[in-house]
Structure 1
Amino acid sequence: MHVPDGFIDAPVSIAAGVAAAGAVAVSLRGARRELDERTAPLAGLVAAFIFAVQMLNFPVAAGTSGHLLGGALAAILVGPYTGVLCVSVVLLMQGILFADGGLTALGVNITVMGVVTVVIAYAIFRGLVKVLPAGRASITTAAFAGALLSVPGAAAAFTAIYAVGGTTDIPVAKVFTAMVGVHVLIGIGEAVITAATVGAVLAVRPDLVHGARGLGTPLKLRVDGVLVDAPAAAPAPVAAAARSTKPVWVTGLVTALVLAGVVSFYASASPDGLEKVAADKGIDAHVEEHASANSPVADYSVKGVGDARLSGGLAGVIGVGVTVVVGTGVFWVVRRRRAEDLTATSTSVPTA
């Protein structure tokens, strides 16, 4: 759903950019509360993983494909504020390096794919977690539902922006029906990927899933044929927070590299939901050439490499590498600011 330059007029694009900048600023402050010494490096990994999986377009209908948006996955794994930043980093790298998503439309893309998906997905996720029985199955179920509904929600948000600032005169009702219709199908793929990924992390390190914090199933004992809660165990000598995240980080990075460098070659070549609707309805009449069209890795292929498989794979590996470095750097700075704030608070002397 990467909006290119030319779909939305300049005034609305600027307004969306201001809104996106505000959302990122709020998220930078909010992420200080979400990130700690374990989750800061993992947030960069989540951004790289989203980048990799977005390269895996899957077929959803005749001549149409879809790909992960990632807002739901990021919000549940590392928190909603950090999730907005993860998707924003991905979109920035895609726009600058790979000519994917217009640079003048960056604010639109961050608003639609980053902010809207995170808000919808996480609100639904938290609501369901509160009413479902406590347990890992409830976490994955809530993740599935949040991700499923976040995608048509983002499609509706794009339609609203198009209604205000679209550069063509296509009836909004037609755009809304087409966008939401195809993105409901894409949402199913988003939900499956999100639930599977969250479930996989829950299986090995539930303490690293932001949305599962506080999750615990009390141990039951059978006493005289009746199940009762077991007495609380004494604190473990080594807290969960002290466990190394290196195995998870390495596994996640290798997975992202394989997906982007190898599996992406087999992704669907059909246009994604927005591209298909734009072509069918004519809202791409004023699309503009991307400012980064001459980038060495534009369109996810390395210029000068003749073999398509190798060219696409190298571009994917480069993208994952750059995204994990930039993302980790951003989240390390945010984490450091939190540490500085805590230090300043602990050492401040109250005045009379």
Structure 2
Amino acid sequence: MHVPDGFINAPVSVATGAVAAVAVAVSLRGARRELAGAVPGGTGAGAERTAPLAGLVAAFIFAVQMLNFPVAAGTSGHLLGGALAAILVGPYTGVLCVSVVLLMQGVLFADGGLTALGVNISDMAIVTTVVAYAVFRGLVKVLPRQRRSITVASFVAALISVPAAAVAFTAIFALGGTTDVPIGKVFTAMVGVHVLIGLGEAVITALTVGAVIAVRPDLVYGARGLTKPLELRTSPLDVPTPAADEVTTAARETGPGAAAPAAPAPRRSVRRVWWAGLAAALLCAGGISYYASASPDGLEKVAHDQGIDTKTKEHASKDSPLADYSVKDIGNARLAGGLAGVIGVGATLAVGTGVFVVLRRRKAVEPAGAAGTAEAPGGRV
């Protein structure tokens, strides 16, 4: 659903650019809290590891977006990623993840107009993430507190987010479309095809979230609080053992039957998850993408059928060495496309991780600075 240059006029493109800039600024602040709280404890080395994971989510979305799947005769679709990002790393961080992907696609691969970047961020990053996470949270509140419920809620949220983005595009086109096309026809065509694309989005999102939950539910933002921490309790009949001396002492201080301080959760490395995710992204972008559907995606098909694309402008990066997801001057199509995909995954991972590391470090510094000036009744702490 990447909108090219020329679909939307300049005033509306500027307005959506302003909306996107404000949303990204708000997301930068919100992402600091999400990155700090995504790991139990929210501080220290554990929280620092969430930045690379968020960068990996952006790289994975980039890779899977290269896998166009057929949805109807002569039409294909691809992952938008807003729902997946919001559920895995949080809605604010999710907006940033998809925005980084769109930026890399527009600048390096001539996919999505540069003057339409605000339109694409507003539609594909903001609308999909906000709608998906709202639906997801609503379902999680009413469904049983089980891992399966997270997967089901992910499926429904992703399914709804795609036609919601189609509706948003239709509204933007109604305000600033450069061609005179009946808006009712655009609405019907966009929503109809993107409901089918939403099914593919829902399957990919549910499978990915389900796979991560099966291995490390503590790394899924949307599953926080799904399992309660283990509490050790004592009773007057308990027999002290050398291994339980500290727990027993704490229990005596608070009285028989009282809850002892919860043992700190053992630190678990995310290295295996990170490498597995990176391997999956590289496999998708560097290998499986060769077999992706060559049919136009939903927006391209509707634009051609309805005449929306009559004023499309050439992309400013059309001569980029990576334009159209193919490395220039390499004759082998499989190698050119695969190498472009690998480069895209690496670039998105580097930029995304860099952004989130900076955000995480700023969040870590702010409390320290504030603590240094805190005052107690008896003087400065």
State if a TM-score over 0.5 links the two structures.
yes
Describe how 1:1-352 pairs up with structure 2 within 5 A: 1-35=1-35, 36-216=47-227, 239=265, 242-350=267-375
SS at match of 1:173: helix
Do the aligned residues in 2 keep the contact of 1:7 with 1:167 (CA within 8 Å)?
yes
Relative to structure 1, the CA distance from residue 329 to residue 147 in structure 2 (aligned partners, 3 Å threshold; closer, same or farther) is same
Q: CA deviation at 1:237?
A: 5.3
1:239 maps to a residue whose letter is: A
Report the Cα distance in structure 1 between the residues aligned to 2:225 and 2:51, rounded to whole angstroms: 19
Do the aligned residues in 2 keep the contact of 1:72 with 1:118 (CA within 8 Å)?
yes
Report the Cα distance in structure 1 between the residues aligned to 2:3 and 2:133, rounded to whole angstroms: 23
1:301 maps to a residue whose letter is: S
Do the aligned residues in 2 keep the contact of 1:148 with 1:187 (CA within 8 Å)?
yes
Q: CA deviation at 1:344?
A: 1.7
Report the Cα distance in structure 1 between the residues aligned to 2:321 and 2:161, rounded to whole angstroms: 33
Relative to structure 1, the CA distance from residue 172 to residue 339 in structure 2 (aligned partners, 3 Å threshold; closer, same or farther) is same
Q: Which runs of 5 or more residues in structure 1 are unaligned? A: 220-230
1:205 maps to a residue whose letter is: R
1:76 maps to a residue whose letter is: I
- Pick the structure with greater CA Rg: 2
Question: Per-residue CA shift, 1:316-346, capped at 9, x if unaligned?
Answer: 0000000000000000001011101121222
Report the Cα distance in structure 2 between the residues aligned to 1:328 and 1:315, rounded to whole angstroms: 20
Report the Cα distance in structure 2 between the residues aligned to 1:323 and 1:233, rounded to whole angstroms: 47
Question: Per-residue CA shift, 1:158-187, capped at 9, x if unaligned?
Answer: 000000000000011100000000000000
SS at match of 2:309: coil
Relative to structure 1, the CA distance from residue 233 to residue 98 in structure 2 (aligned partners, 3 Å threshold; closer, same or farther) is farther
Do the aligned residues in 2 keep the contact of 1:265 with 1:313 (CA within 8 Å)?
yes
2:315 maps to a residue whose letter is: H
Question: Per-residue CA shift, 1:241-291, capped at 9, x if unaligned?
Answer: x21111111110011001000000000000000000000000001000000
Report the Cα distance in structure 1 between the residues aligned to 2:350 and 2:5, rounded to whole angstroms: 27
SS at match of 1:284: helix
Q: Which runs of 5 or more residues in structure 2 are unaligned? A: 36-46, 231-256
Q: CA deviation at 1:347?
A: 2.1
- Count how many residue pairs are aligned between Structure 1 and Structure 2: 340
Report the Cα distance in structure 1 between the residues aligned to 2:264 and 2:229, rounded to whole angstroms: 20
Query: In angstroms, what is the RMSD of aligned CA positions?
Result: 1.7
1:18 maps to a residue whose letter is: A
Relative to structure 1, the CA distance from residue 262 to residue 236 in structure 2 (aligned partners, 3 Å threshold; closer, same or farther) is farther
Report the Cα distance in structure 2 between the residues aligned to 1:325 and 1:42, rounded to whole angstroms: 12
Report the Cα distance in structure 2 between the residues aligned to 1:314 and 1:235, rounded to whole angstroms: 53
Q: CA deviation at 1:31?
A: 0.3
Report the Cα distance in structure 1 between the residues aligned to 2:264 and 2:321, rounded to whole angstroms: 48
Question: Per-residue CA shift, 1:111-167, capped at 9, x if unaligned?
Answer: 000000001000000000000000000000000000000000000000000000000
Question: Per-residue CA shift, 1:95-117, capped at 9, x if unaligned?
Answer: 00000000000000000000000
% of aligned pairs identical? 75
Relative to structure 1, the CA distance from residue 91 to residue 235 in structure 2 (aligned partners, 3 Å threshold; closer, same or farther) is farther
SS at match of 2:71: strand
Relative to structure 1, the CA distance from residue 348 to residue 13 in structure 2 (aligned partners, 3 Å threshold; closer, same or farther) is same
2:181 maps to a residue whose letter is: I
Report the Cα distance in structure 2 between the residues aligned to 1:350 and 1:10, rounded to whole angstroms: 53
